[in-house]
């Protein structure tokens, strides 16, 4: 039987931005992607990484002399409910994925932190300066923690019909996910003379229990496992019939790529920021700082934008999302003189034709 011929797909290159990488943060750049694949892959990966990556958390505690969360411990400033809220913030790395135990024994006037916790060999407490309770001179605090693995968020798993446990165990709401935030942006990129390709940037912030690269690996494994069950026949070997396209590395220099060639109208940069329809708060913050035109905005960096009075990270995300919708981004470093020269060239070409 003759084998059916398929049209190849663009195979992207993946690269981690070294300037944005640490143990808790990472930025992955994926390019080139077929048109529209940026939002398809970015949204799917983001949702999976936020909801489905396994992590370790405290699920229950036994506090000496206490049998419910509304009690107090002699000599401890915080009541039990307050301590439990603090316990939820302990960041734990589980090296094997098996359940485990941790203990905290403190007495006398001191600040009890997660660094005072003694954990099983396969467990590691990462935020050792995290405060659990403040103790007075006559305080004696003893806590046993049960640590389990899970995904996402789980409410306290109290045994049905039992409000008080024989061993005084108190069950705790658990946030298992090691992922704190995932955001992505989509830009246009060029392959040869073609400009209708996507560049996807995924930024990941973790609690330190997993490296951002491991987060992406886990999320990709989840998606691949799920999608495999959608195959009704032998998988089409797109990896074999497709080639990795080389991205035009001059694209980030405005003078090389020329604004019009990038699919962005040259005169857009000289228009007021009103054209972008920001929220009232972001719009007023930008205007009050002297950012009146789009070119003034896209020439700013993230740090410069955050220095604007009353413009926080939420507004920064809004600005970047709206710019991306127009194929714009921060840090474009565009020279106004080049813009005016191009506009003049376009007008000359139009007159001659």
Q: Identify the domain containing residue 320 by its residue range.
A: 257-353
pLDDT the model gives residue 251: 43
Contacts of 162 (CB under 8 A, 6+ apart): none
66 with 157, same domain: the answer is yes
Closest CA to 143 of 175, 113, 121: 113
pLDDT the model gives residue 247: 61
> Beta partners for 188?
198
Q: What does residue 106 show for φ and ψ, rounded to 5 degrees?
A: -135, 150
Burial class (CB in 10 A: 0-12, 13-18, 19+), 163: exposed
pLDDT the model gives residue 246: 61
pLDDT the model gives residue 190: 79
Q: What is the CATH number of the domain that holds 62?
A: 2.170.120.12
pLDDT the model gives residue 253: 41
pLDDT the model gives residue 244: 65
Q: What is the CATH number of the domain that holds 349?
A: 1.10.150.20
73 with 184, same domain: the answer is no
Give the three-state DSSP class for 314: helix
pLDDT the model gives residue 101: 96
Q: H or E element: which one contains 313?
A: helix 313-325
162 with 298, same domain: the answer is no
168 with 187, same domain: the answer is no
157 with 185, same domain: the answer is no
pLDDT the model gives residue 350: 55
45 with 184, same domain: the answer is yes
41 with 140, same domain: the answer is no
119 with 140, same domain: the answer is yes
pLDDT the model gives residue 62: 95
Boundary residue ending a domain (227, 252, 277): 252
Is 4 contained in some domain? no
pLDDT 10s per residue in the chain (353 long)? 456 777 888 888 888 887 777 888 999 999 889 889 999 999 999 999 999 999 999 999 999 999 888 999 999 999 999 999 999 999 999 999 999 999 999 999 999 999 999 999 999 999 999 999 999 999 999 999 999 999 999 998 888 877 788 888 999 999 999 999 999 999 888 777 777 889 999 999 999 999 999 999 999 999 999 998 888 888 877 777 776 666 655 444 444 444 433 456 777 888 888 888 888 888 888 888 888 888 888 888 888 888 888 888 888 888 888 887 777 888 887 777 777 777 776 666 555 55
239 with 141, same domain: the answer is no
119 with 147, same domain: the answer is yes
For the chain, what is the domain count?
3
Boundary residue ending a domain (146, 175, 204): 175
285 with 235, same domain: the answer is no
207 with 351, same domain: the answer is no
């Amino acid at each position: 039987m003759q084998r059916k011929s398929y049209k190849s797909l663009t195979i992207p290159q993946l690269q981690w931005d070294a300037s944005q990488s640490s143990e808790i943060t990472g930025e992955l750049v994926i390019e080139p992607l077929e048109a529209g694949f940026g939002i398809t892959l970015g949204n799917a990966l983001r949702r999976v990484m936020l909801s489905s990556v396994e992590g370790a958390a405290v699920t229950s505690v036994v506090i000496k002399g206490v049998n419910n969360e509304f009690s107090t411990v002699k000599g401890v400033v915080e009541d039990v409910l307050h301590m439990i809220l603090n316990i939820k913030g302990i960041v734990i790395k589980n090296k094997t994925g098996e359940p485990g135990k941790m203990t905290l024994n403190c007495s006398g006037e001191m600040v009890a932190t997660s660094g005072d916790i003694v954990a099983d060999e396969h467990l590691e407490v990462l935020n050792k300066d995290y405060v659990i309770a403040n103790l007075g001179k006559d305080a004696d605090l003893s806590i046993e923690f049960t640590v389990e693995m899970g995904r996402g968020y789980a409410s306290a798993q109290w045994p049905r019909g039992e409000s008080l446990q024989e061993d005084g165990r108190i069950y705790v709401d658990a946030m298992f996910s090691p992922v704190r935030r995932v955001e992505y942006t989509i830009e246009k990129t060029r392959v040869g003379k073609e400009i209708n390709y996507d560049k996807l940037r995924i930024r990941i912030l973790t609690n330190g229990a997993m490296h951002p690269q491991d987060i992406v690996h886990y999320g990709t494994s989840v998606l691949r496992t799920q999608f495999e069950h959608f195959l009704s026949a032998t998988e089409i070997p797109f990896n074999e019939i497709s080639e990795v396209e080389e991205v035009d590395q001059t694209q980030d220099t405005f003078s090389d790529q020329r604004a019009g060639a990038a699919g962005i109208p040259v005169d857009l940069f000289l228009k007021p920021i009103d054209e972008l329809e920001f929220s009232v708060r972001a719009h007023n913050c930008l205007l009050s700082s002297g950012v009146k035109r789009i070119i003034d905005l896209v020439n700013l960096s993230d740090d410069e934008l955050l220095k604007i009075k009353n413009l926080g990270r939420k507004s920064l995300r809004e600005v970047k999302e709206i710019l991306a919708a127009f194929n714009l981004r921060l840090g474009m470093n565009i020279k106004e003189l080049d813009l005016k020269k191009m506009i003049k060239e376009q007008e000359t070409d139009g007159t001659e034709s």
